[in-house]
Structure 1
Amino acid sequence: MPNFAAQSVRGFLLLFCLLAGFPAGSPAAPAPDSPRMTPVVRAVQAVAPAVVNITSTHIIEGQRVSPLERFFGPGFSPGFPGFDGFPGARPGRQKRVSLGSGVIVDGPKGLVLTNAHVIAGGDEVMVHLLDGREFPATVKGAEPDFDIAVLEIKGARDLPAVRLGDSADIMPGETVIAIGNPFGFNHTVTTGVVSALGRTIRNDGGVFTDLIQTDAAINPGNSGGPLLNIEGGLIGINTAVDARAEGIGFAIPINKARRVMADLMGQGRVAPLWLGLMAEDLDSRMAMALGLREARGVLVGAVFEGTPAAKAGITPGDIIESINATPVRDRRDYINVLRNQTGGESLRLSLRRGEKNITLDVTPAPFDDATAQKLMERRWGLGVRESRQGPVIQSVRPDGPAAFLRKGDVITGVGGARIKNMAELLQAFRKERLAGQVLLQVVRDGRGYYARLVL
């Protein structure tokens, strides 16, 4: 039966709205020429549909699950001793859900750019659109050295996409817009300006260079979301915030992100680069002998013929002090800075040569597997081949640092990283090639032990 009382109330409210001059339906949008339709509003309206919220779920097996944690949610702990032995706790499965943001850069293909750390360790990735749709996504590629990942949305049609801008002409002081999912608040918009360009930040995992610094509010959950210019063009992928201060956030320039994406889609990884030289750390004695105030930088010990370093005019005895204005403190810093560069881009090196400070431009070359294997044989003094058990030692140079190893030993770890195949071994060598000593995990006759190479 119809509810006549409810209908009467609705009719009265409609009549009141009409007599008072208020619209009875949803509020009308401002006119296109309204001063409220600022460039920021236009940019947000154009791009917001292409911004996605990302949930990455990781299933943890075999964990102890208590009744309190099942009630209050994963991770709950009352903070008193003995909680792990709470009655009823038992092995089980837990879900850990992380939140982040992303942006659709190719609608027909359903490709999303985000941060690698947003989806790291995820067993199930879902993307949620502004229009309420949600879809599963697969990881097409991820590169932690650049904190970039590419997702592919499955089963979606008519997806919007952002317009890619150009990060080469960004100006400090220009207005920028960030859209993301901070603390789970969907499609939050913040604005600010470009505070600086070419910033470098360091963490335990490496060095991130050439970053855009902005004071647009970026909070947990914004990671992977877009940084836009006032025209709505994508100029960066938001990646980090400095927790020590307010208004200091960082974004990966879209030109670098685009090159990383092309490598991930084309060959599944970003091609490693090198200059073609060997270097060592400066100690206080060397610094004093060279007339330096402090022991910072790397001392070039050898330059390989035909490499970018040789072509650029770098010579043994040069001290590399910075790369693209990023200070190089030691050889590990040198490796990490190079790991965060993409192919085809020229680098500017600041060198000290005797009493002179000079600047050289050099374009790194791909550090392919064949080159890495030859250098490993020279540097570590061992030949390795692929096997079903993993990389197995085939030959050892009698006068080399690995002379105590034997043919048939299987390398299962380098510097704490697990090694399962030749590709992982060569990647580990690229990271450790300048180290003064390297710790290997080796299996011989079914028994594992550690071997230290002193170089």
Structure 2
Amino acid sequence: MGRFGPWLLCCILSLCLVPAAGAAPAAPIGREARLTPVVTAVKAVAPAVVNITSARKVSGRGGAGPLFDDQLFRHFFGPGMMEPQNQTEESLGSGVIIDGAKGLVLTNAHVIAGGTSIKARLLDGRVLDASLVGSDPDFDVAVLRLSGDGNLPQAAMGDSADIMIGETAIAIGNPFGYTNTVTTGVVSAVGRSLKHEGGTYADLIQTDTAINPGNSGGPLVNLAGEVIGINMAIQAGAEGIGFAIPINKARRVVGQIVGGGRVTPAWLGLSGQDVDARTARYFGLDRPRGLLVTDVAKGSAAEQAGLRPGDLLTSVGGTELDDKDQYLGILRTSPVGEAVALTVRRGSAEVRLTAVPTAFSDREAVAVAGERWGLTVAFGKGVAVTGVAPGSPAARLGLKAGDVLIQIGGEKLVNEVAFTRAVYLARMHRTVLIMIERGGRGYYARMGVN
């Protein structure tokens, strides 16, 4: 091309790059092209998601801060400024309608705990009063009933046993009061456990979908527009780690709440204790962990599974056990009748077993109180002690027939159901705080258990 070759080539290329006069601009992307699976899933579920406002009465001082503690301030304005006053406190959360005809809403127990007035706002703007059907704090599940004649939208339920790690997960809820907020992510893991102040939540879905305060109780949804979980918590101090209750577990709890107003706790029928350093070395562990089985009830789920006294229980449902409290927490959130995998150290051998938890009924509670503490009780106006076994923990404490049990382990014994729960929670404690009434006076005492 000679010396003009490069210049000529650039000119030709420039002309090729200039758009033809009057050429039409690129066609805009239509709505159909933007209708992704996420959009479709949200459109299917969002009408059934409700924003929950729960109001409760709390007692507080008339004023707060150092000024109200100043003696001079109290002298001029009087002590009335400092007296407790009832105040209204509101909490925000989410829920999902699971039965439109009956107006049933599934949410978290902590969302409505202590609420005296509960309202639910739907996507279409309606605000309905809600009443509590029942709740269970161990599972963190509650069921509400909305006012009105029913005929409400409801969400389709998925199968949390069919969840795939890495599949898209969509959270819909009311974070920080921003109603009907949608966030997306993936299912990060299943079978997770989460420790909390009252114990351990087990068998949770982990997701990196943004879950914030106010999302609690809202649905976790798959791309088919099905609810696969109920959002419940985030990992404190960590981004991208949230947890949801598998919908299969939540639905079983709902069935018990709607059917009888209470959830019957599960148990295996064993007693145990924490592991010390010496026992850990015997079993070849690098540190003390697990639950050392000390007793197995005859005919219990533990016996049928093949557990024996002296076994070291190291994992339940795929979750490694640190101590007795974690075992109790996991069992509290295990549904009755659902098989659970157990890993046991028996001497130097590792044994894998499967147990099916049974219901810890009122009858079981009475039996455990007799076998574990030496107490025979009767129910009427309170829980009356009718007998004390000689040499038992109750006898050593000085309990006798005619005493009335008021509290066990901090649980008020308002009825037989409360007694069953109290025994269930305290059944493996080495020391149990009780309150009794004798001769019209109340007494607190600690009962030591072998």
Specify the TM-score bucket, using the shorter chain as the normaliser: 0.7 to 0.9
Q: Contact between 2:102 and 2:150, CA under 8 Å: does it hold in 1? A: no
Aligned residue in 2 for 1:26: none
Cα distance change on mapping 1:442 and 1:162 into 2, 3 Å: same
1:415 aligns with 2:409: yes
2:365–2:419 Cα contact (<8 Å) kept: no
- Alignment partner of 1:51 is 2:45: no
- Which residue in 1 is equivalent to 2:238? 245
2:423 to 429, 434, 439: 429
Per the TM alignment, residue 156 of structure 1 is displaced from its structure 2 partner at its CA by 4.3
- The 5-angstrom pairing of residues 33-432 of structure 1 reads 34-60=32-58, 63-65=60-62, 79-82=65-68, 87=77, 89=81, 92-388=85-381, 390-403=382-395, 404-432=398-426
Tell me how many residue pairs correspond in the alignment: 412
CA pair 93-314 structure 1, distance change in 2 beyond 3 A: closer
Please state how far the C-alpha of 1:31 moved relative to its aligned partner: 6.1
Q: Which one-letter code corresponds to 2:322 in the other structure?
A: R
Cα distance in 2 for partners of 1:185, 1:266 equals 34
Report the AA paired with residue 350 of structure 1.
T
Counterpart contact for 1:385–1:422, Cα < 8 Å: no
Instruction: Find the aligned partners of 1:243 and 1:273 in 2 and give their Cα distance.
Output: 29
C-alpha contact (below 8 Å) 1:180/1:221 kept by paired residues: yes
| Comparing 182-191 and 290-299, the one that deviates more | 290-299
Q: Secondary structure at the match of 2:371?
A: helix
- How many angstroms apart in 2 are the aligned matches of 1:192 and 1:173? 9
Does the CA-based 8 Å contact 1:332-1:434 persist in structure 2? no
| Cα distance in structure 1, aligned partners of 2:391 and 2:405 | 20
CA distance in 1, matches of 2:425, 2:85: 38
The 1:156–1:135 alpha-carbon spacing in structure 2 relative to 1, beyond 3 Å, is: farther
Aligned 8 A contact 1:135 1:156 in 2: no
Q: CA deviation at 1:330?
A: 2.1
Q: Is the 8 A contact 1:331 1:435 kept in 2?
A: no
Give TM-score, length-normalised by structure 2.
Answer: 0.88
The answer to which of 147-156 and 292-301 deviates more is 292-301
After alignment, is 379-388 or 100-109 more displaced?
379-388
Alignment match of 1:438 (pick from 394, 416, 432): 432
1:244-270 deviation per Cα after TM superposition (whole angstroms, max 9, x unaligned) = 111111110100000010011111111
Q: What is the rounded CA distance, in whole Å, between the counterparts of 1:203 and 1:109 in structure 2? A: 33
Q: Deviations over 1:52-105 (max 9, x none)?
A: 0000011235x4445xxxxxxxxxx6x544269685836543210100000111
Larger radius of gyration: 2
One-letter code of the match for 1:360? L
The verdict on how the C-alpha distance between 1:217 and 1:126 changes in structure 2, with shifts beyond 3 A counting, is same
CA gap of 1:235–1:366, structure 2 versus 1, over 3 A, is same
**What per-residue deviation string (whole Å, max 9, x for no partner) do you get for residues 90-124 of structure 1?**
65432101000001111111010000000000000
Cα distance in 2 for residues equivalent to 1:101 and 1:194: 20
| Cα displacement string for residues 250-309 of structure 1 (whole angstroms, at most 9, x for unaligned residues) | 110100000010011111111111112222222223333444332211111222222211
- Partners in 1 of 2:378 and 2:69 — Cα distance? 50
Give the letter aligned to residue 59 of structure 1.
K
- Whole-Å Cα distance in 2 between the matches of residues 113 and 306 of structure 1? 36
Letter in 2 for 1:328: L
* Secondary structure of the structure 1 residue equivalent to 2:33: coil
Q: Which amino acid aligns with 2:180?
A: H
Over the aligned positions, Cα root-mean-square deviation in angstroms equals 1.8
- Report the Cα offset of residue 339 of structure 1: 0.6
C-alpha distance in structure 2 between counterparts of 1:207 and 1:256, whole Å: 15
Distance 2:150 2:322 in 1: 50
Match of 1:14 in 2: none
In structure 2, the partner of 1:11 is none
Q: Is the 8 A contact 1:414 1:439 kept in 2?
A: yes
Q: How far off is 1:208 after superposition?
A: 0.6
Partner AA of 1:442 in structure 2: I
1:35 is paired with a residue whose SS is helix
Give 3-state SS (helix, strand or coil) of 2:393's partner: coil
Q: TM-score, normalised by structure 1?
A: 0.87
Cα distance in 2 between the residues matched to 1:279 and 1:64:
45
